[in-house]
Amino acid sequence: MSTITSPVFVSTVRPEHRPGIAGVARSEWTKIRSLRSTFWTFVVTAGLTIGLGSLFALGFTSGQVPFPADFNAAGFSFNGMILAQLAIGVLGVLIITTEYSSGMIRTTFTAVPQRGLVLAVKAVTFGSVTFVVSAATTFVTFFAAQAILSRGTVKHGVSLSSPHALRIVIGAALYLTLCALFGVALGALLRSTAAAITALAGLLFILPIVMGFLPVSWHRDAITRWLPANAGAQIMEKVTQPLQFSPWAGLAIFAGWVAVAFVAGLVLLRRRDV
Amino acid sequence: MIETHELTKKYGDTVAVDHLTFSALPGRVTGFLGPNGAGKSTTMRMILGLDAPTSGSVTVNGTPYRQHHYPLHEVGALLEAKAIHPGRSSYNHLLAVAQSNGFGRRRVTQVLELVGLEDVARKRAGAYSLGMGQRLGIATALLGDPGVLLLDEPVNGLDPEGIIWVRNLLKALAAEGRTVFVSSHLMAEMALTADHLVVIGRGQLIADTSVADFVASASNGRVRVSSPDSPRLRQLIAEQATEVSPIEAGVDGESPSFTVSGLPRSAIGDLAFQQGIVVHELTSEEASLEDAFMELTADDVEFRAQDPNQPTPVQAVPLAATRKVLTP
């Protein structure tokens, strides 16, 4: 119809960096750091872990309850994580579901159509940041709680060089990181904030409680040890408890849960319309 | 260039996009027109690889979108205004999008200035008006300085000044040789902005034609003639014209008038002059794009206008032009 006489378009704008995975990581880091809610959730997670850990240590030392012979002083530092794990897990959920609720996900996938790459880089970036924050938190928690446990005449606190202590402190940080990644995986799988948070709280928090009330004769303990939080928490045990997995095996099982949710999320992400 | 071939999207039994074949060529603004629910946004999402077609194919610059790597330099898109986390500033939003494709802060600053958002760039986007959201969406689309632009309803929520700005921007971008594909349900806006139209209704192609041809096809070349001696002139014209309307009485002392089809104004004027008949008015009755659009999308029958075996009043006119465009 109309003859096209207009010039052939040549862009004069050049990228500053060669496009690649590093750029996608920079992009995801910008998304993480540019939200105040990210910062505050990290503060809440650290605050709950350090604060409740210290508070429980204080309560324990002030009581009349005699310390058990095999008292796990290092692991005792991390009782506050029962709430902190949910805070960091919810942040993991929000990292991806807010992209869906705002419509940003379409811009993200228009800019980088390789959806699996985006999800993987998002998880690695957020996981790395979470591990750094978590490790700082668990070390502070350990020293604070041990200082409190060492008060008085009977010193129950342990040092970092005591058997298993370093493994427990780093393991606690890994546990928090897995909770965060579990949130990301469930968020990618379910896309809705409410659904993903419900699933996360159900799997980490509610299911262990419900299962705890089942009759022992139903092979309760053989089943509950496979639950993500139960298996993962073994990394904070000094000695392997009866009917439980060893520390690293338990953590690996939790990682397996996260991996399964992640792969399911990845497969659906590539197939579904956004 | 954007090319779709027999593009189809079904949701269960509902057909959202139905065997849609068209091209958006570089160097012009292609208006993608259709009533709400016609399948425009679904088509846009399929072009961008966000939704998978049920059948058919679509390519951008010859490649299916999801096979593009870091395509912001090639394709820019605005799908919805304010598709941004309400807690994030537009600067950081643009920076995140830019970084994913290797662009940096300098380019972010450039596009913010281009759309006039530099003063509010550090404010949280949750407080933005719809118009500011549209400007941010356009900034996002322009980040990679792409040769292909897709914009879904970019003037929604803009004030008159903003509408004119978008109109001029789109024309300027097309004049640089870019492919500009812009959807709208505002026919009047498209008449001013677009060079070419792809019109759909209920997911099917209704017309693929230039704006001028589209309007002409609807107005059908009608001429309004007004004369104090209308009855005699009408009789003379009726011998040569294909269709002549009944005479309407003049309002406010004006002469009675009637319309003529199939005879140009010049012929009517010559005829009146030869016969010594005074003529007070001789005007082409141009339908607006809106009229043309309403006529085309009026009812179900006309949705099937592209079927050559289905004689409908609409089919005869615009689609002859359509076919030429389909095979460029």
Superfamily of B2-74+146-216 according to CATH: P-loop containing nucleotide triphosphate hydrolases (3.40.50.300)
Identify the sign of the CA torsion B70, B71, B74, B77.
Answer: negative
> Taking a C-beta distance cutoff of 8 angstroms, is the pair A98, A193 a contact?
yes
Rounded to whole angstroms, how far apart are CA atoms A220 and A1? 76
CA-based nearest distance A48→chain B, Å? 24
- B50 and A13 within 8 Å at the Cβ level: the answer is no
Q: Which pLDDT score is estimated for B298?
A: 64
Residue that is written with structure tokens 């790459």 in the block: A117
CB < 8 Å to A98, chain B: 85
Q: Tell me the chain A residues in contact with residue B102 when contact means C-beta distances shorter than 8 Å.
A: 15-20, 23
Got the DSSP string for A176-225?
HHHHHHHHHHHHHHH--HHHHHHHHHIIIIIHHHHHHTS-GGGTHHHHHT
Query: In which band, very low, low, confident or very high, does the pLDDT at B305 lie, cut at 50, 70 and 90?
Result: very low
Instruction: Answer whether A108 touches B (CB < 8 Å).
Output: yes
pLDDT digits (tens, 9 = 90+) for B216-254: 776 667 889 999 999 999 999 988 888 888 998 888 888
Would the pLDDT of A162 be above 50?
yes
Assign B292 a pLDDT band (cuts: 50, 70, 90).
low
| CA B306-B308-B313 angle, 5° bins | 75
Average pLDDT over residues B46-59: 97
Helices (H) and strands (E) in chain B, counts: 12, 13
Q: To the nearest whole angstrom, how far is the Cα of A96 from the nearest Cα of chain B?
A: 11
**Average pLDDT for B93-110:** 97
CA atoms within 13 A on the CB side of B307: 11
**Rounded distance between C-alpha atoms, residue B101 and residue B69, angstroms:** 9
**Which of A116-125, A175-184, B292-301, B303-312 shows the lowest mean pLDDT across its residues?**
B303-312
Question: For B196-200, what is the mean pLDDT?
Answer: 93
Output the pLDDT for position B321. 36
Token readout for A148 is: 């409190």
Rounded CA-CA distance A55/A98 in Å is: 34
To which H or E segment does residue B30 belong?
strand B28-33
B110 vs A61: CA distance, rounded Å: 61
Contact B110, B142 (CB under 8 A): no
The pLDDT tens digits of the residues spanning B132-153 come to: 999 999 999 999 999 999 999 9
For residue range B111-125, list pLDDT tens digits in order.
999 999 999 999 999
Instruction: Supply the pLDDT for residue B219.
Output: 62
Chain B interface disruption, residue of A4, A9, A33, A191, most B CBs within 10 A: A9
Domains B2-74+146-216 and B221-284 share a fold: no
Q: Name the residue among B107, B176, B196 with its Cβ closest to that of A13.
A: B107
Whether the ipTM is more than 0.90: the answer is: yes
Cβ distance A37 to B87 less than 8 Å, yes or no, reads: yes
Q: What is the pLDDT of residue B325?
A: 35
Query: Looking at CA atoms only, how far is residue A154 from chain B in angstroms?
Result: 50
To probe the interface with A, which of B50, B65, B78, B99 has the most A CB atoms within 10 Å?
Answer: B99
Among A1, A6, A271, the residue with its CB nearest the CB of B325 is: A1
Token pair of A18, please? 């060669």
Beta pairing, strands B179-184 & B75-78: unpaired
Please state, in angstroms and rounded to a whole number, the distance separating the CA atoms of residues A46 and B56: 52
Per domain, the residue ranges of chain B are 2-74+146-216, 221-284
Select from A4, A9, A113 the Cβ nearest to the Cβ of B176.
A9
Distance from CA of A264 to the nearest CA of B (A): 19
pLDDT, mean of residues B172-198 = 91
Dihedral sign of CA atoms A19, A24, A30, A33 in order:
negative
CB contact under 8 A, B83 and A103: yes
A190-228: pLDDT as tens digits: 999 999 999 999 999 999 899 888 888 888 888 899 999
* DSSP state, residue B124: B
Phi and psi at residue B144, in whole multiples of 5°? -90, 10
Query: Which chain B residues are Cβ-neighbours of A13 within 8 angstroms?
Result: 73, 103, 107, 110, 144-145
pLDDT given at position A5: 58
Token pair 């009517």 is at which residue?
Answer: B268
For B22, the enclosing helix (H) or strand (E) is strand B14-24
Residue contact A16–B106, C-beta within 8 A: yes
* pTM of the complete model beyond 0.90: no
* Contacting residues of B for A1, CB less than 8 Å apart: 196, 209-210, 213, 321, 324-325
Closest by CA to B23, choosing from B148, B157, B130, is B148
Give residue A72's Cα distance to chain centre: 23
CA distance A10 to chain B (A): 8
The CATH architecture of the domain made up of B221-284 is 2-Layer Sandwich (3.30)
> Measured between alpha carbons, how far is A272 from B200 in angstroms, rounded to an integer?
25
B49 neighbourhood in chain A, CB within 8 Å:
109-110, 113
Q: Mean of the pLDDT values across residues A27-41?
A: 95
Q: From residue B27, give the alpha-carbon distance in Å to each of A100, B40, B166, B274.
A: 34, 21, 17, 47
Q: How many CB atoms sit inside 10 A of residue A219's CB? A: 10
Closest CA to A135 of A95, A159, A82, A171: A171
pLDDT at A125 over 80: yes
Q: Is the dihedral of CA B51, B57, B58, B62 positive or negative?
A: positive
Quickly state the pLDDT bin for B327 (edges 50, 70, 90).
Answer: very low
Choice among A165-179, B135-149, B160-174, B284-298 with the minimum mean pLDDT: B284-298
pLDDT higher than threshold 80 for residue B131: yes
**Helix/strand/coil (H/E/C) assignment for every residue in B136-190:** HHHHHHHCCCCCEEEEECCCCCCCHHHHHHHHHHHHHHHHCCCEEEEEECCHHHH
Instruction: Give the dihedral of Cα atoms B146, B147, B148, B154; nearest 10 deg.
Output: 60
Q: Is pLDDT above 50 for B171?
A: yes
Task: Write out chain A residues lying below 8 Å of B97, CB-based.
Answer: 27, 107-108, 111
